[in-house]
Amino acid sequence: LYAQSLALLEPRDPGDCSRTLCYVAHARLRAGRLDQAEQALAEARRSQGPEMYSRLMYAFLQADLARRRGMAWSDERMEREAGPGE
């Protein structure tokens, strides 16, 4: 289904592909398919999605991937922009 969605989006709204790729990465993380999730995140990073959604969701998913692998990950921009308690 995601592949069909990407095929439809690519010619009509290529900028929104990163949103769908983030959904793909999230589904793969939940299924424990970490290498495939990492691949989807790499594709999302290359696409030109809606800045705010993609940046925040991408960072969340990268952190989740690292956590599941027993590693740490941070995003300097998010850390810098976060308010107290965030």
Alpha helices in the chain (DSSP H): 2-12, 17-30, 34-46, 51-68, 76-81
pLDDT of res. 45: 85
pLDDT at residue 52 in the model: 55
pLDDT of residue 46: 82
Dihedral angle of Cα 51, 56, 58, 62, to the nearest 10 degrees: 150
> What's the pLDDT at 61?
94
Q: Whole-model pTM?
A: 0.78
**pLDDT tens digits, residue range 21-67?**
899 999 999 999 999 999 999 988 887 665 656 788 888 999 999 99
Identify the pLDDT of residue 69.
Answer: 97
pLDDT at site 26:
96
At 10 the pLDDT is 77
